[in-house]
Amino acid sequence: MTKLSRSAYNFCQESLRRNKAPVVPSRNHKPVDVVISVGWRVRKSLMAIPWLHSVAMVSVVCAGLLSAELNAVAAADVKTIAANVDNHYNHLRSLQAEFIEVYRGSGMDRTESGTLWLKKPGKMRWEYRSPKEKLFVSNGKDAWFYVPGDRQARKESAKKLEDVRSPLAFLLGKTKLEKELRGLSLAPDIAPLNAGDAVLRGVPTALADQISEIVLEISPDNRIVRLVVHGVDGTTTEYRFAQQKEDVAIADGHFDFKAPEGTEVVDGGIGN
């Protein structure tokens, strides 16, 4: 128990001891049961009774102290969780994981899956396998999006890239979640996929014109197992990560792309 919570507890206990409930007789000489619930519900008509007024005042003070304590604990928890996640990923050189991507919006509900590779600095490869093959890859300089069935490849400078997948590169960056996501806080209204995980939410500093909020689910071992991107247009893109392998050997060439012969190359348009 923290110093603040101990003080609040002692204050409330002593105040209630001094203001022990009396038996209030009714007109038929039977006791009136005075019930004070967790929410300190007291009938307004009985507030004229000095004891009830005193208890009501104590309840307000106690509620304020306990609320402040809970807010302080929540803030401390967020800082601790964020710092642990930063420490976990900032020390990695590479990461491989299986992913599921769920997109909802514009009358569409689409689920895809594949394998993700990340490598410092700024390299990533999203290899989709289901329901159809496609590739999103960046070597940190150029980014490519290729769908074999369309025989078309889109190319964009990594610096100009505006795609919801691009912020995920911060997982292996020298950064802090609290800087990447403004107003980072716990999200008790969102149920985690796995019991024991923590769920956080925040507003991204990057792509603010496209993304209104990002939700992160953090496992007890400080891994990001789910990331939900809420678009300003009402769409949501959810990523779930499993079988994460850290510091695996990945050749730099795995993040390069050469358009197959006969493929149309289009400049720009990735993420639009």
Q: What does the pLDDT read at residue 173? A: 64
Provide the token pair at 194.
């796995």
What are the average pLDDT values for consecutive 10-residue runs of the chain, which has 272 residues? Answer: 49 51 43 39 41 44 42 64 92 93 93 95 92 93 90 86 58 76 94 95 84 94 94 94 95 95 86 57
With b meaning 16 or more CB within 10 Å and e meaning fewer, what string describes 205-239? eebeebbebbbbbbbeebbbbbbbbbbeeeeebbb
- Report the C-alpha gap between 238 and 228 in whole angstroms: 4
Burial class of residue 11 in the structure, from the number of CB atoms within 10 Å of its CB (0-12 exposed, 13-18 middle, 19+ buried): middle
Q: What is the domain partition of the chain in residue ranges?
A: 3-87, 92-267
Q: What does the pLDDT read at residue 171? A: 65
- Cβ atoms 186, 78 nearer than 8 A: yes
Domain at 92-267, CATH homologous superfamily: Lipoprotein localisation LolA/LolB/LppX (2.50.20.10)
Q: What does the pLDDT read at residue 69? A: 36
Fill in the amino acid letter for 248.
V
- Report the C-alpha gap between 146 and 263 in whole angstroms: 9
Per-residue pLDDT reduced to its tens digit, 208-236: 788 899 999 999 999 999 999 999 999 99
Q: What does the pLDDT read at residue 93? A: 92
Q: What does the pLDDT read at residue 144? A: 93
With b meaning 16 or more CB within 10 Å and e meaning fewer, what string describes 39-58? eeebeeeeeebeebeebbeb
The model carries a pTM of 0.70
